[in-house]
């Protein structure tokens, strides 16, 4: 019963968080470089980050910023 209660509480906690993100127009992603959750603009296909904490978002699945840059960019994981 306790496990069922805890799972239900997790769902109840996510509902207002998801609504807040929707209203603000952001999606939650995971930045593997800084090892933390980040909120980036919603509606983009993919996002990239570098060691300086900068982000690039792209609507193209073929975009890769490391090709045209001297910095090391890593793909941000969508949550």
Say if CB 15 and CB 9 are below 8 A apart: no
Query: How far is 74 from 30, CA to CA, in rounded Å?
Result: 11
Q: What is the pLDDT of residues 47-57, one digit of tens each?
A: 999 988 899 99
Q: What is the pLDDT of residues 22-63, one digit of tens each?
A: 898 898 888 888 888 999 999 888 999 998 889 999 998 889
> What does pTM read for this prediction?
0.68
Query: How far is 34 from 7, CA to CA, in rounded Å?
Result: 28
Where b means 16+ CB within 10 Å and e means fewer, 30-62 reads ebeeeeeebebeeebebbbbbeeeebbbeeeee
In the chain, where are the structural domains located? 2-78
């Amino acid at each position: 019963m306790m496990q069922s209660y805890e799972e239900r509480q997790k769902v109840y906690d996510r509902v207002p968080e998801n609504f807040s993100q929707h209203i603000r127009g952001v999606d939650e992603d995971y930045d593997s470089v800084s090892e933390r959750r980040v909120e980036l603009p919603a509606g983009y296909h993919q996002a990239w980050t570098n060691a300086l904490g900068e982000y690039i978002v792209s609507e193209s699945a073929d975009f890769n910023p490391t090709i045209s840059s001297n910095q090391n960019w890593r793909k941000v994981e969508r949550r």
